[in-house]
Amino acid sequence: MSDTTVEFVEREDGVLVVAKTGPIGQDATWGNVADESQRLEWLAMAGAPVPKVIEFVDHGDGTATLLTERIPGFDATRREARARPEELVDLFAKALRVWHDNLSVADCPFRSDWATRLEVAKARLKRGLIASENLDDAYRRVGFDTLVASLDRTDPDDHDDLVVIHGDPSLPNLILGAGGFAGWVDVGRVGVGSRWCDLMIAATTIASNMGPMLVPTLFEAYGADSADTLAVDAYQLLEQFL
């Protein structure tokens, strides 16, 4: 999040700590440090591979700091991670599939489905935080009002196939260690939602960092026989407003 600062520090006992500071409260960005703190606590109880919360500090001025233990390793945008692109995509896809398969929808107290994300987008639009110039070039050629109206006519979620999604499974949020996959970070948008939301974000990060030719490899390694193009396109548009 652009309104959040991140610092990496080492405590006297040698523990590596990540300190994230940013706005909280009603006007803060969805997925802020308060949202992430709550989700990290639940994910830890669920056994997910995420950072351990050390402390959450509300500064009383509309900002807070989330302190977590740093997962040893490096994020997947590093050159050494991308040296074998097909292996990285395979690891990425399988780590995401394990996440989706192992976290309980029934036990998850958070939502990250189409309706939830659309509500967040509408709130941002109402506050004037999104304008045509904020959109990617491909969307600027379409009328802004037309795009906004199309969101209300769409709900691509298969409500019989919801999972607990990461909410932002991009290469910078995938941590690798000496043994391969080490964990996930930036989980402020975790919640029950469509796997195709996560897969859209995953496909976007793979295409932009390593080339679109590897996107089919992502879907195949994940175990998706074919892409739900309607859902992918819908979530790609909605992401422009979040």
Q: Is the pLDDT of residue 51 over 80?
A: yes
Q: Given pLDDT bands bounded at 50, 70 and 90, which one contains residue 11?
A: confident
Measured CA to CA, the distance from residue 49 to residue 175 in angstroms comes to: 10
The residues that are catalytic are 168
Q: Is the pLDDT of residue 111 over 70?
A: yes
Task: Choose which CATH entry (1.10.1840.10, 3.40.50.10320, 3.30.200.20, 3.40.228.10) describes domain 5-69.
Answer: 3.30.200.20
At 157-210, the pLDDT tens digits run 999 999 999 999 999 999 999 889 999 999 999 999 999 999 999 999 999 999
pLDDT value of position 1 = 54
pLDDT value of position 96 = 98
Q: Is the pLDDT of residue 15 over 90?
A: no
At 87-102, the pLDDT tens digits run 999 999 999 999 999 9
Measured CA to CA, the distance from residue 167 to residue 99 in angstroms comes to: 11
Q: Given pLDDT bands bounded at 50, 70 and 90, which one contains residue 149?
A: very high
**Residue 61, marked binder:** no
175 Cβ neighbours under 8 A, 6+ residues apart: 71, 73, 74, 75, 76, 181, 182, 183, 184, 185
pLDDT value of position 138 = 86
Q: Is the pLDDT of residue 13 over 90?
A: no
Task: Choose which CATH entry (3.30.450.20, 2.40.50.140, 3.90.1200.10, 3.40.250.10) describes domain 74-239.
Answer: 3.90.1200.10
At 219-232, the pLDDT tens digits run 999 999 888 999 99
Q: Given pLDDT bands bounded at 50, 70 and 90, which one contains residue 2?
A: low
Task: Say if pTM beats, i.e. exceeds, 0.85.
Answer: yes
pLDDT value of position 12 = 84
Matching fold, domains 5-69 and 74-239: no
- In sign, the C-alpha dihedral spanning 141, 119, 227, 183 is positive
Query: Where along the chain do its domains lie?
Result: 5-69, 74-239
Using the CB atoms, write b or e for 145-165: b if 16+ within 10 Å: eebeeebeebebbeeeebbbb
pLDDT value of position 31 = 95
Classified as helix, coil or strand, 207 is: helix
Classified as helix, coil or strand, 96 is: helix
